[in-house]
Every structure is written in C-alpha cells, then in structure tokens.
Amino acid sequence: MGFWEVLEVASDPVLQVLLISGLGALMASHYFNHLLSPDFRKSLNKIVFIVFTPSLIFSSFANTVSLQDMLSWWFMPLNIALTFLIGGVMGWMIVKVLKPNPKLHGNLGNLPIVIIPAICDEKGGPFGSPDACRSNALSYSSFSLAQIVMKKPNESFLQRLTHILYHILKQLMAPPTIATILGFVFGGITLLRNLIIGQNAPLRLIQHTIQLLGDGTIPCITLLLGGNLTQGMKSWSVKPWVLVGILVSRFVIQPAIGMLIVKMAANFGFLPVDPLFHYVLVMQYAMPPAMNISTMAQLFDVGEEECSVILLWSYGAAAIALTAWSTFLMCLFS
C-alpha cells in the first residue's frame, strides 16, 4: 500500500469517532434539548458497563481466543502496566516543572475497542483479510479493555493493602471481569466452545444474542465520549504550558518510548509474530486519558473543572496524533 492509501485507512476510524462523538456533543446541548443530560449519561454508562461491554468481551474471546492465544498474549498486561509507569513518571515531571494545581491519574479508556477494529474494515489493509483482521483486533482490544488499574495515594500501608485487596475482589466481581474469565473458559475449552460457537452448536442462539448486545458497545461509548467532553468547553482553568506539556508527553514522548519497548520485546521473541498485535501494543501508549478520570474527579470533588479542560484538549489533539501514529505504525509493520 502507498502512503496515501495507508493514511486513508488510518484516518477513517478517527473520523468515525469524531463524527459520532460530535453527534453526542450535539445531543448533550440545548439544540437537542439536552437529550444526553448528565443523569442520562450516567445511566447509559452503567448499561454499557454492566451489559454491552461484557457482551462484547465475551463474544470476542469465545469466538477467537484459544488456550494457546492466552499464553502468547502474556506481554499485554505487562505492556499496559508499563504505560502507567511511564505515564506516571511523565506526569510527575510535569507536576515538578510546571506545578499545576490538581493531581490527575487515568488509564487507557475505551478508544482501543473503537478505533483498532475499524482499521480492518478498509479493503487492502496491511493486516490481512478484513474478517480475520477484525476478529483478531476485537480480541486484542477487548483484552486491553479488560485490564483495569487504579491508584489511591496518601494511605498508610495497612489501609493501602486493605484497599488493594478489596479493590481486587470488587474488580473480580465486576461484569467485564466476569465476562473476560468466562470468555477465556469457553474459548479455551473445546467442549464448552462447541456448545455455543458454530453453525451446529446446540446453544448458538445464546452466542448470537450476546453478540447482538455487544454490537451496542461502540456506538454508545462514542456518543458518551462526545457528551462528556462538552464539560470542558465551559472553563479555561488550566495554564497553556501545562496543556502543552501534557499533550507532548502523552502523544509524542510516551508512544515513542512504547514503540522502542515493543520493538525490543519483539526482537527478544516475547511477542507473537502477528503485526496487528504489535500495532495494538504501541497504540496503547498513544491513547488519550480515559473519561473515567472525570468521574473520579466528580466523586472526590477534586480538580473537576481542570480535568474537563485537559480531557477536551487531549481528545482534540488525539484526532491528529492517533492518525499520525496509526499511519506510521501501519507503514512500519506492513
């Protein structure tokens, strides 16, 4: 593929996100009579978390993931932990140098599940046939979505240990985590897999129903993204140099470091040979902060205004940064 063809493939998913999130922003405004009001967004977010996202994760894993796949993907949780470590160091440096008021922490969020499978929809893409590419992309990005890390500062050792144990138990009981475990079980055990997967499976109706529910995940989270970002248009409480520092570290320095890490891991034979898997690992470093840091700011009543501004600028810059990195990586791995 030529450069312009790769650029078109890379930009299409980002443009789709912009269009749908733009619609979500309009639906949250007075032009649509505040259809996506804050209360409605909270309710819809709960439905996405409890119903749609677990359905998408389970259907993706049960369809395509085998026991061998589970073992070969061991580097992905480590890679996500490295994104937190590198992002935390970069954030600490920004705090020390530029001295912003709030201390904000985030994670990867939902964008991988939106953008990565969409690159497979274009004909002639660099990652093989569209059907196989999309199936693998859904599995990789669903596995990425299932990794959850949270951090709570200023606690004693005993309080932190208690909180960590409670949080681990709570996350194990969360619907996406349960869906991940069940997806691994049904995908890895042939007997269970044959019950729901395939044209002759006796319980195939269950899998079809779960897939149908999972199809609602991407439109809903993208509409919610647009609606939530409108909060950042009401304030200018963050210094320009702080914003520049955050954007450069998030979309330039961190992905560059991530690309070196992934290349080194590949050279040492730690990764599967699938170039799409390498692409997903590097793109994890280039994703903007998750929208749930805004929810956390509201919950603790700390830095809510500043958080909304940072998210707005981060997602605006991500439209350019994700297209650029996606184009570069597809040229590199194709």
Q: Between the CA of residue 280 and those of 17, 101, 103, 127, 169, what are the distances in Å?
A: 18, 33, 28, 12, 28
Please check whether residue 289 is in contact with residue 310, taking contact to mean a CB–CB distance below 8 angstroms.
Answer: yes
Assigned architecture for domain 3-333: Up-down Bundle (1.20)
Average pLDDT, the chain: 76
Domain ranges for the chain? 3-333
Full-model pTM: 0.71
Tell me what pLDDT residue 244 has. Answer: 86
Residue 258 has, within 13 A of its CA and on its CB side, a CA count of: 31
Residue-wise pLDDT for 253-311, tens only, equals 999 999 999 999 999 888 888 888 888 888 888 888 766 555 555 545 555 566 777 77
**Alpha carbons 209 and 214: distance in angstroms, whole number:** 9
Q: What is the pLDDT along the chain (334 residues), one digit of tens a residue?
A: 667 777 777 788 888 888 988 898 899 888 888 888 888 888 888 888 888 988 988 888 777 776 677 777 788 878 877 887 887 788 778 777 776 654 444 445 566 666 677 666 666 566 666 666 766 676 666 665 555 434 444 445 556 557 656 665 666 677 877 888 888 788 778 888 888 888 888 888 988 999 899 888 888 888 888 887 777 666 666 777 878 888 888 889 999 999 999 999 999 888 888 888 888 888 888 888 766 555 555 545 555 566 777 777 888 888 888 889 888 888 887 6
CA 97 to chain centre: 29
Residue-wise pLDDT for 71-109, tens only, equals 777 888 788 778 878 877 887 787 777 766 544 444 455
Three-state DSSP at 238 gives coil
